[in-house]
Amino acid sequence: MTDLESLLNDRLAAAFAAVAGEPADPVVRRSQHADFQADGALPLARRLGRAPRDIAADALGRADLADLVATAEISGPGFINLKLRGDALAGLLAAMSGDERLGVPAASAPETVIIDYSHPNVAKEMHAGHLRSTVIGDAVARTLDWLGHDIRRANHVGDWGTPFGMLIEHLLDLGETEAAHELSVGDLNGFYQAARVKFDADPVFAERSRLRVVALQSGDETTLRLWRLLVDESEKYFLAVYDKLGVTLTAADFCGESYYNDMLAPVVDTLDGLGLLQESDGAQCAFPQGFAGRDGQPTPIIVRKRDGGYGYGATDLAAIRYRTQELKATRLLYVVGSPQSRHLEMVYQTAREAGWLAEPARAVHVGFGQVLGADGKKLASRAGQTVKLMELLEEAVTRAAAIVAEKNPELDADTRAEVARMVGIGAIKYVDLSSDRIKDYTFSWERMLSFSGDTGAYLQYTHARIKSIFRRGGVGPDRAAVVLLDSPAERALAMELLGFPAVVADAAQTLQFHRLAGYLQGLAGAYTAFYDNCPVLKADGPTRASRLLLCDLTARVIAQGLGLLGIEAPERM
C-alpha cells in the first residue's frame, strides 16, 4: 500500500462520485503548483450544471484525506491543489523500505503470457534488426515475470522453409565437419550467401536443392538429420549472442516454425470446416473481415500455397491456436517490427473468426520502429551490409572499456572488464528502451555512451555513487530507521521514490518502457539534488539513519528498475 497516487485517486474518486451521483474520474496528476492536482471538477461542471469551483469545494468537503493531505486549495477554474503531509510521505516510505518488492504488489490475478520475441533465422546472422525485438521482449519478460505472471518465452525461430534445400546441399558439399565449424564460429552469413550464390549460378545445384526440400518435407530421415545439424549449430550461436547481450532466453525457449509442422494440416482442415477458406489463384486463403488491399479487394492470408506447401500464415495461426488452446495463454504478445502490423492484425482477426482468440485471451502486437544510422537510413555498415549483432555488442563493450579505463584507472582489470560489459551492453539496451518504441531511433555511439544525460550509464553511475557512500562509511542501511523529510530535497526525493509502483504497473500494462526509463532519470535527478544538499555520512543520529535509508531505497529502486529493463547496476564504476 505504498502507491501514493492510487491512494489519492481512490479517496477522491469516492468523493467525486458522491458529488456526481455516479462514478467520476478525479483526474489526479502530479503538479507544478503542488504535489498533486485533481482536476475532476471541470468535466463535471456541464453535466451537473454547477460551477466547477463549487463542485471542487463540495468534493473536497466529502473527501477523506486528513491522514494524507496537509493543505488542499482550489485554484483557477476549479483545480484542487494538494500538498501532502510529511508524516504521510515518511510513513509510506518506511513501508516501502521494509518491503522486498519496494511497494510493488504481485499481480492479483496472474495469467499465462506468451512473449514471442527475438526470432532469428537459422543459418542467418543475427543483425541489428533482431536487436529491438530481443531487447524489448526481454524487458517484457522480466517485468511480467517479476509481477508474478506465468511467462512463456517463445523464440519463433525461422527454422523451416524452402531455403533449407539449398542450405542442406551446401552443407553436404562442404562436409558436415567443416560446415559445423563454419556455423559454430558464427559465420552464418558466409554460409548462407555461399549457398545462395550456388543456387543462383548452378542449375544442377538448384535442382538438388529443390529435391532436398521435397525430401525434407516428406520426412526423409537423412535429410532431417542434416537439417537438425544446421538448426543445432545455429542455435548454439544464437545462445552465444544472447549470453553476450545478457537476455533471459535459453535453449528451452526455442520453439521455431518447425514445431508447428504437425499442426498445420489440422489447422487448415479446421479452418476449412468452419467455412473460412476460399480458393484463390490455386491457393487456399482466409479472408479476414476488414482488410482490403489494392483495388479494394479483400486481402487474403495464404494458408496453403498453390504448390501445396503451407504458408507462414498457417504457421502463425497454428501457433495462436496452440497457445490459447493447449498452453491456455490469455495474453499473447508479439514483439515484432511495425511493418508486420497488418499481417498480425489479419492473423488475429482470422483466429477470432475461428474461435481461437476469444475473451479473456487477447493478442497484442508490441510493435517497434527501426534503428537508423547517422544518415537517417536503416543502420548498416560502411559497405552497406547489415550490421552483425555480435559485432555491435563487442564494439559497445570495447568502447565502454576505453571510457571506463580513462575515467577510473584505479579499477583492477577484472572489475574494469565487468563494468565495461555492464555499461556497454546497458547503453545499447537503454537507448532502445528509453524512447517510444513505435518510433525509429538514431543510433549514435557517442550519445549512448555518454556518462551524463539520458543514458543508462548515468543511472548506473548514480547507483554506484550511492553504493560508494555505504562503502566509504563502512555502514549498511537500517531499513527500519525513522524517515525524516526536513529539507526540500529529501521531500522531493521521497515523492519520486513513491512513484515507483505506479510506473511499474503502467509499464506492465502498456509495455512502454520509456516511461520507466524516464521515471528512473527523474529519480536519479532528485537523488543528485539530495546528494548535493544533504550530507549523509557527516550527518548525525536520526538524520544520518534516515538519509542512509533514502540512499538505500534509491539504490534499490534504480537497480530494480534497471533490472526490469535487463540492465545491470554495478556496485562501483
Residues 341-370 touching RNA, rule: CB under 7 A, are: 341-343, 369-370
Q: Which stretch binds RNA (CB under 7 A): 86-94, 207-215, 294-302, 555-563?
A: 294-302
First to last CA, the chain: 35
What is the rounded distance in angstroms from the CA atom of residue 416 to the CA atom of residue 267?
54
Size of the site for RNA (CB under 7 A): 98
260 binding RNA? (CB under 7 A): no
488 binding RNA? (CB under 7 A): no
Residue span 237-256 as binding mask against RNA, x where in contact by CB under 7 A, dash where not: --------------------
491 binding RNA? (CB under 7 A): no
Q: Which of 467, 498, 507, 523 binds RNA (CB under 7 A)?
A: 467
Asked if residues 168 and 226 have their Cβ atoms less than 8 Å apart, the reply is yes
Residues in 103-132 at the binding interface with RNA, rule: CB under 7 A: 119
**Phi, psi for residue 72 in degrees, rounded to 5:** -135, 120
Q: Which stretch binds RNA (CB under 7 A): 14-22, 61-69, 94-102, 302-310?
A: 302-310
53 binding RNA? (CB under 7 A): no
Calculate Rg over the CA atoms of the chain.
Answer: 28
Residues in 271-290 at the binding interface with RNA, rule: CB under 7 A: 280-283, 285
**Residue with smaller CB distance to RNA, 195 or 330:** 195
Shortest Cβ distance from residue 144 to RNA (Å)? 20
305 binding RNA? (CB under 7 A): yes
Question: What CA dihedral angle connects 256, 262, 263 and 267, to 10 degrees?
Answer: 130
Shortest Cβ distance from residue 175 to RNA (Å)? 27
Give the residue among 423, 467, 465, 463 at the shortest CA–CA distance from 445.
Answer: 423
Q: Determine the Cα angle at 563 with ends 449 and 546, to 5°.
A: 100
What is the rounded distance in angstroms from the CA atom of residue 125 to the CA atom of residue 311?
23
Q: Which residues in 346-501 belong to E strands, given as ranges?
A: 362-366, 371-372, 441-442
Q: Which of 181, 228, 306, 328 binds RNA (CB under 7 A)?
A: 306
**Residue with smaller CB distance to RNA, 343 or 479:** 343
Residues in 56-75 at the binding interface with RNA, rule: CB under 7 A: 75
472 binding RNA? (CB under 7 A): yes
Q: Which of 320, 428, 485, 536 binds RNA (CB under 7 A)?
A: 536
**Residue with smaller CB distance to RNA, 194 or 405:** 405
Shortest Cβ distance from residue 114 to RNA (Å)? 16
**Residue with smaller CB distance to RNA, 120 or 330:** 120
412 binding RNA? (CB under 7 A): no
How many residues comprise the chain? Answer: 573
**Residue with smaller CB distance to RNA, 330 or 459:** 459
Residue 262 parent element (H or E): helix 261-273
Q: Is 107 helix (H, G, I), strand (E, B) or coil?
A: coil
Is the backbone peptide bond immediately before 360 cis, with ω within 30 degrees of 0? yes
340 binding RNA? (CB under 7 A): yes
442 binding RNA? (CB under 7 A): yes
**Which set of grid coordinates corresponds to residue 526?**
532528485
**Residue with smaller CB distance to RNA, 250 or 297:** 297
Asked if residues 93 and 495 have their Cβ atoms less than 8 Å apart, the reply is no
What is the rounded distance in angstroms from the CA atom of residue 147 to the CA atom of residue 152?
14
Residue 30 parent element (H or E): strand 28-30
Q: Which of 97, 217, 234, 315 binds RNA (CB under 7 A)?
A: 315
Shortest Cβ distance from residue 5 to RNA (Å)? 7
416-434 in b/e form (b: 16+ CB < 10 A) is bbbbbbbbbbbbbbbbbbb
Please give the full DSSP string across 417-461, using - where no structure is assigned. Answer: HHHHHHHHHHHHHHHHHSS-TTS-EE--HHHHT-SSSSSHHHHHH
**Residue with smaller CB distance to RNA, 146 or 519:** 519
Give the residue among 449, 472, 445 at the shortest CA–CA distance from 551.
Answer: 472
Asked if residues 103 and 501 have their Cβ atoms less than 8 Å apart, the reply is yes
Q: Which of 193, 435, 487, 560 binds RNA (CB under 7 A)?
A: 435
Q: Which of 458, 523, 545, 566 binds RNA (CB under 7 A)?
A: 458
Residues in 168-207 at the binding interface with RNA, rule: CB under 7 A: none
Q: Which of 1, 64, 76, 325 binds RNA (CB under 7 A)?
A: 76
